[in-house]
Structure 1
């Protein structure tokens, strides 16, 4: 994999030149401020599919009592440290599986622990015991909790051969104690729920930050913590044509700190009218070079990882797997499949943005569509929605010349106009920036957005889901990570 490039940092801005803004205080009953904004943390993290978090929350916080469960999780490298990936939730039934404890208030029954540990060993998944405490924005283990970990987890780790540990939750905080396979012990830095709002639960609220003066006007909306979140994110853009070049421009100016740029194509003369800041002399250059130049112009401190390969190349796939968010702006079935695979295997949210301009053989123009689709781990899937054609995917996976002969020899280029592309791009980036700063009113709204510029209407399209799907269900790679 190509080494990321880092540009020299700008001179630091003195505190007197900075403005410190805060997000508005919470108002009772206001759903827009239910979640605290915690910038990404370094260290071990746990990602939970939104459906799993909803089921777990209902179990843990249904009443004022303590409840328990076990999460079985895959493992992968993440953007800021190792990442645990929730694959299965095993609910402990009160009074049967979660019973009065010998040393503490309650505990998982020996039989429940045994069965869950055997399953973890068989599936090669991490074992995480879960319970809840009372509180809101901070949480930690009690001395009784730690004592129980020290009595049981060394043996449990030996039995499973996997990472074992415990996670304690409140509705707005989480803490974890992990016992690693090499004998080390680590804290859990954060729990991530990648839904319509990208929720981050930490043991306590992140310390206050101060925004760069360049982002003052944005920080007045997102708050200093929200702006710092953008800076710490690793975001991929797959496809750097008309839509992708705009995405890079918007994300760079938003303050995203690290961009992975994936495209193997070179600039052609017919691209110039819709590539941001393209010049005649750019013809023949790699699109990754043009996108990198534009990103650096917009944000000289950004870290870039240009990958001049197709998305199915191992280097590109490995880079995608350690991102916080993926934007899909390539319209091949291979790009759709591999991004969809990454979303569900590594629990990384993604957004597809694109425009379709149908033109008949007689020149008749059909209904123009500008689409923005949110891909949510374990919930929205391009296979379930019929957006991937298996025959075209098989063709896409052939070497370049074979692809050309099989599919593209007589293909007529589709129309593409920069202003139409901007409709999809603006919708995609607006959703992203509100999601990562927890400003969406509904955590669960994952509908796609379809603009029809000719009729000037806008529709929400609810994704279908097949429970037997081998891409997004438990029959597939959901949460398996690198295993």
Structure 2
């Protein structure tokens, strides 16, 4: 996800604090790398104290050099970037950078470039009706996001004008801007099996144009009953290739990055840094642990989904599915106890390590799977995605499907205040500062 990302509700807090003043007001957002070029994570922000101003009125403000030195020293010491923030309190509509801003930014860009050369720095202007951001002194505008239960595009420069004819019926539901956002953001699908292939089809029909597809496996005969888009001729073909072909059949202009690789491998994970929204469609606890932590650590919203059919003594006893959004302010997979630590350990082992481990016995037993259940859960996930990025007013972020009762039940789970994954004292917003629980480069699961 490119641009500047705030963990909800930090942007709202910043804007409310700044706009409480009638005079132009300044603040500093300290940033971390978002993992890819053009991506920043808001790590902290401070309001400029009254004594920091050398000049301040309703249309302009200037900070004292001593305060800028203080800011640069902290940024360099803590290995952070700087986003200089000021308000246009009288702006109507989305604020724009003024000629005064243009003239003042270049010396600031030169100063912070010299004092904190390891980071790239930003400017952010905030008004009553929105905000706008750009690289400090350069002028290239960047998106601004607030990531929580909704992925709010606070500012999205260059959002393309799109033809709404093909998606006329859904544009009538959530508007042309919502459709434009869907068409512009990059979506990553991890796992292109039963749920992942069904989801890819739905997202392509919804108008998503930019896909990142990751799955290490090839199509097997036993996959054909539930792998959307696959035919017998696809046996031994990588699942990501089948999914990419199916997506292009729906939208020939789709931009697709397909990797036949395991997401838990250190070399594969950076592929996700270029995504704006993640879908976790695997039954591997290790991959869910890795991607689940990445969602909070890099503020990349994610929807995790799973299905299960339980058969005992030749009778179906349970048909269930779940969808859970992972984002700041929402409980993670650790909080909801959806991960098995011992299973994660086993899945991270190489074949050699498994052979030597006395606690790993037997082979994986295939579980029952049918396309109808996969498609139901994929549909729940697609609708949850729509409600996160467009005005679709669906609030559920954790849902349980019971196929025997024919019910979908929204649920509310509690955040664990000291959680190592989703709390501020844990991985939340740490970006590249914290390690991720990946399989080290050079170690491979055969």
TM-score bin, normalised by smaller chain = 0.7 to 0.9
Q: Deviations over 1:339-360 (max 9, x none)?
A: 1232123221111121123344
The reply to whether residue 432 of structure 1 matches residue 385 of structure 2 is: yes
Q: Secondary structure of 2:132's partner?
A: strand
Cross-structure match for 2:440: none
Residues 1:453 and 2:381 are matched in the alignment: no
Which residue in 2 is equivalent to 1:140? 96
Following superposition, the deviation at residue 399 of structure 1 comes to 1.9
Is the CA contact (8 Å cut-off) linking 1:138 and 1:203 kept in structure 2?
A: no
> What are the residue-to-residue correspondences of 1:186-197 with 2, within 5 Å?
186-197=139-150
Following superposition of structure 1 onto structure 2, how do residues 147-296 of structure 1 map, counting pairs within 5 Å?
A: 147-161=103-117, 162-179=119-136, 185-202=138-155, 209-211=161-163, 213-296=165-248
Q: What 5-or-longer segments of structure 2 have no aligned partner?
A: 434-446
2:399·2:409 contact (CA, 8 Å) conserved in 1? yes
- Does the C-alpha gap of structure 1 residues 333 and 111 become closer, same or farther in structure 2, counting only changes over 3 Å? farther
* CA 1:446–1:69: 2 relative to 1, 3 Å: farther
Q: Which stretches in structure 1 are left out of the alignment for 5+ residues?
A: 1-39
Contact 1:87 1:478 in 2 (8 A): no
Distance 1:98 1:356 in 2: 61
Q: What CA deviation, in whole Å up to 9, does each residue of 1:215-270 have, x standing for no partner?
A: 33333334443333333221111111110110111111222112111111122222
2:427 pairs with 1:471: no
Q: Which residue of 1 aligns with 2:334?
A: 383
Q: TM-score, normalised by structure 1?
A: 0.78
Secondary structure of 1:342 counterpart: helix
How far is 1:82 from its partner?
0.8
Distance in 2, matches of 1:434 and 1:377, equals 16
Q: Structure 1 residues 89 and 387, CA, compared in 2 at 3 Å: closer, same or farther?
A: farther
Shift of 1:58: 3.1
Work out the CA distance in 2 between the residues paired with 1:251 and 1:108.
47
Instruction: Give yes or no for the alignment of 1:374 onto 2:329.
Output: no
Contact in 2 for aligned 1:196/1:446 (Cα 8 Å): no
Segment drifting more, 158-167 vs 265-274: 158-167
Tell me, what secondary structure is at the counterpart of 2:122? strand
1:35 equivalent in structure 2: none
| Equivalent residue, structure 2, for 1:358 | 310
| Range 386-395 or range 426-435, more displaced | 386-395
CA distance in structure 2 between the aligned counterparts of 1:402 and 1:101, rounded to whole angstroms = 65
In the alignment, what sits opposite 1:124? 79
How far the C-alpha of 1:151 sits from its partner, in A, is: 4.8
Contact 1:139 1:175 in 2 (8 A): yes
Pick closer, same or farther for the CA change 1:430–1:103 going to 2, 3 Å.
closer
| 1:136-164 alpha-carbon deviations (Å, 9 max, x no partner) | 53212344444543454433332233333
Rate the CA distance shift 1:136–1:102 in 2: closer, same or farther, 3 A: closer
Backbone CA RMSD of aligned residues: 3.2
1:328 is aligned to 280
Secondary structure of the 1:72 match is strand
CA-to-aligned-CA distance 1:63-93 (integer Å, 9 cap, x gap): 7565443211112465xx6111112233446
Structure 1 CA distance for aligned equivalents of residues 410 and 156 of structure 2: 36
CA contact (8 A) 2:178 2:391 kept: no
Aligned-partner SS, 2:141 = strand
Partner of 2:437: none
Deviates more, 1:197-206 or 1:233-242: 197-206
Give the Å deviation of 1:311: 0.8
Q: 2:189 touches 2:213 (CA, 8 Å); kept in 1?
A: yes
Q: Write out per-residue CA displacement over residues 110-142 of structure 1, whole angstroms, 9 at most, x where no aligned residue.
A: 676554433321221111122322335321234
Q: Does 1:395 align with 2:364?
A: no
Number of aligned residue pairs: give it: 429
